[in-house]
Amino acid sequence: MQLSTSVIQSDLASLRQSLLDLFCQVAYKEGDFTLSSGQQSRYYINGKQVTLHPEGGAAVGRLLLSMLPDDTMAVAGLTLGADPMVTATSVVALYAGRSIAPLIIRKEAKGHGTQAYIEGLTLAADAPVVVLEDVVTTGQSALKAVERLRAAGYRVTQILALVDRLQGGAELYAQENIPFEAIFSIQEIQARWAELNA
């Protein structure tokens, strides 16, 4: 565990490096895997091992907050991968003097009560929202979140991810005219993982 309790005070460059190491230590695995997209892969990244890590979650929140446009009113993402990310970013934002609502988007509408797709505060129409995703492969998961948010009357200004697997997600978002940025590319994680495991 490379992160320390100074995660809240560290400069962003040091924090990013510590988060990269944490990904390599607890989230990145090599082998034979089937991804949620159905694709086969020789590696797997379990982002929840980082986002549900006490210090990893705080680091994720700080780094994502630093990437948000100033007018952002909410961060949102598909359950379950984005849940700890939107929560961490919202909590870190409050400590930084910003109020950013966390929104969790269900994969299927709730079967009772309001039957809502989106859980969280109801925002004004056209509110600017940033979609968060842990690992982007084809880009379909975050795009589903975008569609749900737009259907609710919100304006999606950006998609932010922790890791881009470089398998078509960025291109899909470009076709949809949605700005996209990831903290890490898969090449950076693999290169650091190789260094740490040499």
Q: Check whether 141 is labelled as a binding-site residue.
A: yes
Q: Check whether 165 is labelled as a binding-site residue.
A: yes
Q: Check whether 137 is labelled as a binding-site residue.
A: yes
Q: Check whether 61 is labelled as a binding-site residue.
A: no
Q: Check whether 110 is labelled as a binding-site residue.
A: yes
Flag whether pLDDT at 7 surpasses 80: no
Q: Check whether 136 is labelled as a binding-site residue.
A: yes
Query: 140-155: per-residue pLDDT in tens?
Result: 999 999 999 999 999 9
Q: Check whether 185 is labelled as a binding-site residue.
A: no
Give percent of the chain above pLDDT 90.
86
- Alpha-carbon span 122 to 131, nearest angstrom: 16
196, 166 Cβ separation under 8 angstroms:
no
- pLDDT at position 146, please? 97
- Long-range Cβ contact pairs of 12-18 (< 8 A, separation 24 or more): 12/62, 12/63, 12/66, 15/59, 15/62, 15/63, 16/63, 16/183, 18/59
- Alpha-carbon span 178 to 176, nearest angstrom: 6
What's the CATH code of the domain at 182? Answer: 3.40.50.2020
Q: Check whether 139 is labelled as a binding-site residue.
A: yes
- pLDDT at position 1, please? 43
- pLDDT at position 111, please? 60
Flag whether pLDDT at 57 surpasses 90: yes
Number of domains within the chain? 1
User: Does the pTM of the predicted model rise above 0.85?
Assistant: yes
Determine the average pLDDT of the residues in 63-74.
Answer: 98
What domain range is 18 assigned to? 5-196
Do the strands 155-164 and 180-185 form a parallel or antiparallel pair, or are they unpaired?
parallel
120, 102 Cβ separation under 8 angstroms:
yes
